[in-house]
Structure 1
Amino acid sequence: MLFAFICKDKPGHLNVRMETRPAHVEHLNKLNAEGTLKIAGPFLDAEGKPNGSLVIVDADDIDAARSLADADPYAKAGLFESVEVKPYNWVFNNPEA
């Protein structure tokens, strides 16, 4: 089942995002190689700077999805003000459909 992580950065934490980015990308590359990661990328503010993240993963259930969200280096570094984990139904342009 697919789950979306809707992550909002803490204000003034762009430096945390940039410092943690290599570990975050490595984490996502691992999930991608396992076939768990479906979509990922940052939300942008009006100036085009990242201020949050959208990550969509395939997980057995919401508890497994939350564990994946918690394992993200961004989450471990305290970047996020909030992380919402929601079941997701990929209807349009799903390459696996």
Structure 2
Amino acid sequence: MAFFTVVWKYTDDTELIDKARGPHGAHLKELIGAGSLRIAGPFEDGTGGILVLEVAGQEELKPLLDEDPYVAQGVVVDTQIYPFKPVLGALAG
């Protein structure tokens, strides 16, 4: 399994963000239940958020992100993906 840090930048359209927030949260809870999403949260200024996912490889990552309502409904305007190797803390193995 591999870890990836996903950094999302959001649109400035707060109405769109508010509309998609509930379905987005439900999607993230599904990913947590499946064991793929390890931690997630928004930036305090509301401009984006970070997800840390554990999946078999990057090819498995894209569909999980594309299914998220924030992506599908246009809340996410930029995505940066970084392979991540936890060496300290709860995710270190």
TM-score, with normalisation over the residues of structure 1? 0.85
- RMSD of aligned alpha carbons: 1.4
Aligned to 2:23: 23
User: Hey, what does 1:9 align to over in structure 2?
Assistant: 10
**Residue in 2 that maps onto 1:65:** 61
The answer (yes or no) to whether the contact 2:41–2:50 under 8 Å persists in 1 is: yes
Other-structure match for 1:80: 76
Which aligned runs of 4 or more in structure 1 are off by greater than 3 angstroms?
Answer: none
**Hey, what's the Cα distance between the residues in 2 that align with 1:3 and 1:88?**
5
SS of the counterpart of 2:42?
strand
Give 1:90's match in structure 2, choosing from 71, 86, 89: 86
Distance in 2, matches of 1:19 and 1:29, equals 17
Could you tell me the TM-score, scaled by structure 2's length? 0.88
Alpha-carbon offset, residue 53 of structure 1:
1.2
What residue ranges of structure 2 are gaps of 5+ in the alignment? Answer: none
Distance of 1:68 and 1:85 partners within structure 2: 13
Uncovered stretches (5+) of structure 1, i.e. residues with no partner: none
- Report deviation, 1:61: 1.1
Identity of paired residues, percent? 26
Separation in structure 2 between the aligned mates of residue 34 and residue 84 of structure 1, nearest angstrom: 23
What amino acid is the match of 1:32? I
